[in-house]
Structure 1
């Protein structure tokens, strides 16, 4: 492969976005920097802010003052100080908390979150990734892909980020080694395939020198003809509104007088207008939208992100934590769901322990049963009974009362949650719902007898057991298909 062909192959994901130049979304692009310790995340964003003229004069003066004795060999200020605002961050030269900054180019505006690289601050990285459209994953050209690189890439993908810029930083410290750059690029793309991530733009850069950040580094790297970081960001896409119907998690019931009753919250998906039919979950009551009110006017419609007060055409029982949804596109309601978790506290997640689960304005009790844990080095999911701090795992959630979720890949707001330890009130995990569990049985009563309905294969195993033989006259076993059992359970759950 020639140098030109290799560089073009690396930049290939962006070429497919060329038609978007003319119809670029006016909304800001939200992005994060992530990766392992000392890969240069804060320096990169500081350089990005500096070269895009996003640093005000008083900030520049303070930066030069604070950089006294910390200048590098080029005589440049310590750009990381633009992001590291905590005293502990400046003393230790590390990033601890998430820092948000704003900058813009002639073509679009950006909101960037600088996230910590240390493993103990993984929870902060997950916080920054939860609202991002794109991840800049930094790798030290000398060190290659590390475990924390894999951890951050995995968390970003689980949180729905599908656009990655692989920034292979400190390339100047390898004498601009093209072979090393291409090997890291190849290895990461192999790993990314296991995450389902295909849109990757790989850029060799020196954040310290500003090469391929805002300005081209082709003088030092003539073999690379792809985009600079800013060019890649300008061509990225903002996550579109998820393909679900209207969702409003009720935060407050507004009753300023006897003549007005409205339900307040932020639209978490879809759109709504007066006259639309909606359903209140989990009760299942139906009503029509009478009007949509905001702080200063009555609206003709509302879309995702709007904070509104919804007025219905009839008196219905709605309280905080309920969800108002489109009648023709409803979320899943049930007592059991599957999810991915990221454990955030030293105590980790205990098998079978009961936690508080908070999603939107709804809080309810849940039992968490870990199923497997991701082995970052191999990409395998290994069986697990508990999840230690920073582990990424698959779990079963079992609720005391009906829960309401969309799959996370369809709606970030109604598909995500946090777990709270009832003993300490600490947030111990963040999670993403992957789907509703299919229950294997249904239980109901008939003429005073308890009827247990089971799939045929399970019913046969139970009937052949010694325990069942001893109590045969006390039970009825009805054979049914797994699909029939799942439908029976769905109907039972909807009556709760």
Structure 2
């Protein structure tokens, strides 16, 4: 005889309504990110029994004393052989309070571009450092990237605290150093937690080895941070047109795309390029007509007036960004092809793609905080650089905001089509 599960109970209903938080890990090589993620998955019981058995066998074969939790996440052969994380891998786990999507990013400096990818969709960054070495260059690099991407919640996990005998003075010195950098970059919502991913201290369960620490575990912080969409809904309406839909038989004309910021409702007034103003008459979705839409929704807008619009054009409400042909930005170089003054390339902003030229490379940020390099000859792989760009045609760019809702772009090599850099309009750190 089997017993049916009552899916209408308050407990089951609450589980179904759990919010999802997106986070990523970052840190230097050998700071223990893979072990940390493995511990998080293992202690939240998010690992299948056969995975645990396989991990135990592999740990024993390697002569590991106990369980090598990093084996749960370093899935690529090259990662296992080298003992490092190479690619971004997404992990999923859940607790009674919420569900999580975790981007496990590489720590090696040559894979900083992968870390940018992982951070770009995350609300929270868990930044690991080795308690023996404290804040290092990669720590500063990742904090700069987090600030550029608009991440405001950073959890500094001071790992391997057991290797410094759970020393409070060591922890407090690292905490002070970290807060001084984070505050300067505008990262004001941060928490510092002493942990041992290997031993399990303060990752999921509170530690019994540090009477001097009375704060939350990493998981408790993750469960308490409010889930937001990067405040995109608080901005003015922005709708880059991705496709124009025409049906001549029915005289249907709609403009398809994704609402990047703000919200829109039937009857609202929007402005098109060249200052044309019109009214939204219909909002079509895959589920049928809708009265309104908000940031993140994919929709088709129909307008009261026939206006000549094409892919890449921007429909907006409220103050419309002024089209410009030159602007300043910050770029993270993602490939081994340098960015140089005078270089011609393609710039993708929203759904628009135009030819552009790097007018100047104005500064390379020194991530050790010693001295930036002004007017360098080039920006190379993994550099964070202030640049000035000139476009072949006017673009309605605006300052980067709300984790990429507006103001982000890509620089693309004209010959190969490879993405050279990720850019942020108007962002000037330090």
1:416 pairs, out of 408, 421, 425, with 408
Select between 351-360 and 266-275 the one with higher mean Cα deviation.
351-360
| CA drift at 1:299 | 0.7
| CA drift at 1:67 | 3.8
Whether the 8 Å contact between 2:150 and 2:402 is mirrored in structure 1 is: no
| CA drift at 1:370 | 0.9
- Counterpart of 1:427? 419
User: What is the alpha-carbon distance in structure 2 between the residues aligned to residue 359 and residue 65 of structure 1?
Assistant: 50
- Counterpart of 1:272? 264
- Counterpart of 1:222? 211
Select between 188-197 and 221-230 the one with higher mean Cα deviation.
188-197
User: What is the alpha-carbon distance in structure 2 between the residues aligned to residue 195 and residue 392 of structure 1?
Assistant: 14
- Counterpart of 1:457? none
Select between 380-389 and 391-400 the one with higher mean Cα deviation.
380-389
Matched, 1:148 2:138: yes
Query: 1:401 aligns to what SS in structure 2?
Result: strand
1:39 pairs, out of 19, 24, 31, with 31
Whether the 8 Å contact between 1:418 and 1:430 is mirrored in structure 2 is: yes
User: What is the alpha-carbon distance in structure 1 between the residues aligned to residue 34 and residue 42 of structure 2?
Assistant: 12
| CA drift at 1:199 | 1.8
- Counterpart of 2:254? 262
| CA drift at 1:400 | 1.2
Aligned residues: 407
TM-score with structure 1 length normalisation?
0.79
Whether the 8 Å contact between 1:119 and 1:390 is mirrored in structure 2 is: yes
Query: 2:405 aligns to what SS in structure 1?
Result: helix
| CA drift at 1:41 | 0.9
Extract unaligned runs of 5+ from structure 2: 1-16
Q: 1:446-488 CA distances to partner (integer Å, 9 max, x unpaired)?
A: xxxxxxxxxxxxxxxxxxxxxxxxxxxxxxxxxxxxxxxxxxx
| CA drift at 1:224 | 0.5
User: What is the alpha-carbon distance in structure 1 between the residues aligned to residue 258 and residue 63 of structure 2?
Assistant: 46
Alignment of 1:302-321 (within 5 A): 302-321=293-312
Whether the 8 Å contact between 2:151 and 2:403 is mirrored in structure 1 is: no
| CA drift at 1:66 | 4.3
Alignment of 1:417-496 (within 5 A): 417-434=409-426
User: What is the alpha-carbon distance in structure 1 between the residues aligned to residue 173 and residue 19 of structure 2?
Assistant: 35
User: What is the alpha-carbon distance in structure 1 between the residues aligned to residue 151 and residue 237 of structure 2?
Assistant: 23
Matched, 1:106 2:96: yes
Alignment of 1:18-417 (within 5 A): 27-70=19-62, 72-73=64-65, 75-76=66-67, 78-217=68-207, 219-239=208-228, 240-242=230-232, 243-259=234-250, 260-281=252-273, 283-326=274-317, 328-368=318-358, 369-378=360-369, 380-385=371-376, 386-410=378-402, 412-417=404-409
| CA drift at 1:194 | 2.2
User: What is the alpha-carbon distance in structure 1 between the residues aligned to residue 362 and residue 261 of structure 2?
Assistant: 30
User: What is the alpha-carbon distance in structure 1 between the residues aligned to residue 62 and residue 151 of structure 2?
Assistant: 35
Extract unaligned runs of 5+ from structure 1: 1-24, 437-496
Distance change in 2, residues 1:400/1:44 (3 Å)? same
User: What is the alpha-carbon distance in structure 1 between the residues aligned to residue 58 and residue 355 of structure 2?
Assistant: 49
| CA drift at 1:50 | 1.1
Distance change in 2, residues 1:332/1:214 (3 Å)? farther
User: What is the alpha-carbon distance in structure 2 between the residues aligned to residue 321 and residue 67 of structure 1?
Assistant: 53
TM-score with structure 2 length normalisation?
0.90
User: What is the alpha-carbon distance in structure 1 between the residues aligned to residue 328 and residue 254 of structure 2?
Assistant: 33
| CA drift at 1:289 | 0.7
| CA drift at 1:329 | 3.0
User: What is the alpha-carbon distance in structure 2 between the residues aligned to residue 144 and residue 435 of structure 1?
Assistant: 28
Distance change in 2, residues 1:257/1:58 (3 Å)? farther
User: What is the aligned-residue RMSD (CA, Å)?
Assistant: 1.9
Q: 1:353-397 CA distances to partner (integer Å, 9 max, x unpaired)?
A: 111111221111111121111111125433133211111111111
